[in-house]
Amino acid sequence: MFEARLVSSGTLKKVLDAIKDLLNEASFDCSDTGIQLQAMDSSHVSLVSLSLRADGFDKYRCDRNLTMGMNLASMTKILKCANNDDTVTVKAQDDADCVTFVFESKKQEKISDYEMKLMNLDQEHLGIPETDFSCVIHMPSGEFSRICRDLSQFGESVIISCTKEGVRFSSSGDIGSANIKLAQTNNIDKEEETVSIDLQEPVTLTFACQYLNSFTKATPLSNRVSLSMSANVPLVVEYEIPDLGHIRYYLAPKIEEDEN
């Protein structure tokens, strides 16, 4: 028996929004410690890693390890039927070929259950090596999202340059060129608006806009994002999911433009 309950279905909707741009279907690995998902995007360029801790759920029970392959478009249709303040419970039998989503309204007068067939998906678990990064940028997630969106109007790539003074995001193309500079701001009143940089050594790397824009679909999950960069290793874009876990995206830098 597997059963996981969240008092607010809004969080689960946001988790789904954060992955469905990159993945058409996904395997959720459930154990007594929580739910894990790890997958390459459908074009096999970037990697998504989601972790939801058992203790972050309002109720959690997992008698036996279980892998649930789900079509994310179908899951989206089902979650659209929940109000954001409905309680959501995800249920499955131990050897189930289907999963049930139960939505309960606050006053319990309305109870909806949606049963969905599970899928058998090929899985390749990728070892992700721990890395010491040359720099880690912590910044408001909305600002990062805005910058990626703005720069993708100008070119297909974004160059991210990090020094101890700040971060520069650049792009160029037919229209012209664009540069956005964020200064490091450690002493600001509102901590959530801070841009802070942990720097071992300056780094300049180039990334494909398209994937960065997909990663920023996680913005509603957290008002902060961190970007971890080192030469020749994938960028890690991480969003904490408050009290529940985190989602991380990995994207290798572009080689050619890096040498310009």
Question: What is the spatial order of strands in the sheet that 59-62 belongs to?
Answer: 59-62, 2-6, 87-92, 98-104
Residue 133 backbone dihedrals phi, psi, to 5 degrees = -90, 150
Residue 260, interface with a copy of itself (CB under 8 A)? no
Neighbours of 142 (CB within 10 A): 16
In the structure encoding, which two tokens stand for residue 167, read together? Answer: 């971060």
Of 78 and 247, CB closest to a copy of itself: 78
Distance, C-alpha 218 to centroid of its chain:
5
The answer to whether 168 and 161 are in contact (CB under 8 A) is yes
Q: Which residues contact 204 (CB under 8 A, 6 or more apart)?
A: 159, 160, 161, 162, 258
CA dihedral 253, 204, 130, 182 (to 10 degrees): -110
Residue 163, interface with a copy of itself (CB under 8 A)? no
Residue 110, interface with a copy of itself (CB under 8 A)? yes
Distance CA 97, CA 117 (A): 6
Residue 3, interface with a copy of itself (CB under 8 A)? no
Q: What is the pattern of x (binds a copy of itself, CB under 8 A) and - over residues 63-102?
A: --------x--x--xx-xx----------------x----
Of 32 and 115, CB closest to a copy of itself: 115
Q: What's the closest the beta carbon of residue 131 comes to a copy of itself, in angstroms?
A: 28
Greatest CA span in the chain, whole angstroms?
A: 63
Q: How many CA atoms lie within 13 A of 245 on its CB side?
A: 21
Considering only residues 193 to 232 of the shown chain, the ones binding a copy of itself according to CB under 8 A are 195
Residue 117, interface with a copy of itself (CB under 8 A)? yes
Q: According to CB under 8 A, which one of 50, 182, 221, 229 is a site residue for a copy of itself? A: 182
The answer to whether 138 and 196 are in contact (CB under 8 A) is yes
Q: What's the closest the beta carbon of residue 48 comes to a copy of itself, in angstroms?
A: 23
Of 44 and 80, CB closest to a copy of itself: 80
Residue 180, interface with a copy of itself (CB under 8 A)? yes
Q: What's the closest the beta carbon of residue 119 comes to a copy of itself, in angstroms?
A: 12
The stretch near a copy of itself (CB under 8 A) out of 86-94, 110-118, 227-235, 243-251 is 110-118
Q: According to CB under 8 A, which one of 43, 44, 108, 124 is a site residue for a copy of itself? A: 108
Of 182 and 241, CB closest to a copy of itself: 182
Distance CA 182, CA 77 (A): 39
Q: What's the closest the beta carbon of residue 126 comes to a copy of itself, in angstroms?
A: 30
Report the interface residues with a copy of itself, using CB under 8 A.
Answer: 71, 74, 77-78, 80-81, 98, 108-117, 143, 150, 153-154, 175-183, 185, 195
